[in-house]
Amino acid sequence: MPQNVPEFRFSDDALRLRQFLYEHWCAHGRGPNLRAAHQATGLTRERLIEVYRELDLGLICTVDHATQNCNLLKLQPFSSYPSQVEVFVGGKFHSWAGCAMESVALSRMPPFAGKEVRLESYCACCLAPVSLATRDGDIVSRVPEPVLIHVSTSPREWNTTNIVCMCDSMNYVADAEHAGRRARAPLRAADLPPRRPLHARAGAPLRRRHGGEPDVALRLAAGARRARAHHRGDQGARGGREQLGRIASMASTPAHGAR
Ligand SMILES: [Zn+2]
């Protein structure tokens, strides 16, 4: 789904497919393939793909538009592929959550009413375990107690082509100190040329490669304004820090509305 999609109403076919997708995913912990969707809805292959694209445009699911089978990557709040949050229902692995933000809302889905939905995740900075028990939208217990959700992108970066990168940037952290540490790791791996460091110690001397530009991470650590302006990842990290307080209070009262 791109940004700035005008308001529209889903077709009846889209609503039928949406209902089937949610029921199937809650029952099985994974999405259906095209044949299963065809058997459940009676829609032809061509119509199914049109309707999947309609649901994607309305932010219900995320499909790979370039694939002939319209591969289903996500059905918010679920992910088809391993994500940062494992979901357990009744003590058994159920599914992957779409992201940390989606995971706190997951226990409000009608098929999970009254059930304990346990979220197993980790701190984005140090990979220490994070565990939350949720029920009917409430967080029943959390380990560690001060756990937060860290958002390392700006809303300006969300939904540029789809929500995969947005969800990737919404992660649990052990506490505010770990959030700060994560926020100070300013560049995503994808932004870095190979063999450059992800982290630099504060006050470390600028090191130059081949007599040229200093390493990007070191320039950021030295606080060079020019470097900040050139690297959106850093803007995102700072935006994430500013959002932390708000996100933390959302996480404790998990009505979704995160997006
Ligand atoms: Zn950590």
**Residue 247 confidence (pLDDT) above 80:** no
Q: Is the peptide bond before 32 cis (omega within 30 degrees of 0)?
A: no
Task: Based on the fold, state whether residues 217 and 109 are members of the same structural domain.
Answer: yes
Instruction: For residue 171, give the 3-state DSSP assignment.
Output: strand
For the chain, the domain total comes to 2
Q: What is the DSSP string of 75-110?
A: ETTEESS--S-EEEETTEEEEEES-HHHHTTGGGSG
Do 91 and 214 have their domain in common? yes
Residue 189 predicted with pLDDT over 60: no
CA 233 to ligand 1 center in whole angstroms: 19
pLDDT digits (tens, 9 = 90+) for 202-221: 444 434 333 333 332 222 22
pLDDT > 70: percent of the chain = 71
130 C-alpha vs ligand 1 centroid, how far in Å?
10
Residue 226 Cα, ligand 1 centroid: separation in angstroms?
A: 29
Mean pLDDT, rounded, for 97-102:
96
Dist. CA 124 → ligand 1 center (Å): 6
Residues 136-182: tens digit of each pLDDT: 999 999 999 999 999 999 989 898 888 999 999 999 999 999 999 88
pLDDT value for 256: 37
CA of 172 to the centre of ligand 1 (A): 9
Ligand 1 centroid, distance to 72 Cα (angstroms): 31
**Is residue 24 exposed (0-12), middle (13-18) or buried (19+ Cβ within 10 Å)?**
middle
Query: Is the pLDDT score of 237 beyond 60?
Result: no
Distance 176 CA to ligand 1 centre (A): 9
Provide the total of helices (H) and of strands (E) in the chain, helices listed first: 9, 10
Q: Residue range 238-251: average pLDDT?
A: 39
pLDDT at 1: 74
Mean pLDDT of the chain: 79
Whether residues 55 and 154 fall in one domain: no
CATH assignment of the domain containing 65: 1.10.10
Residues 98, 27, single domain; the answer is no
Residue 209 maps to which CATH number?
A: 3.15.10.60
148 and 219 belong to one structural domain:
yes
Which structural domain range is residue 41 located in?
Answer: 12-75
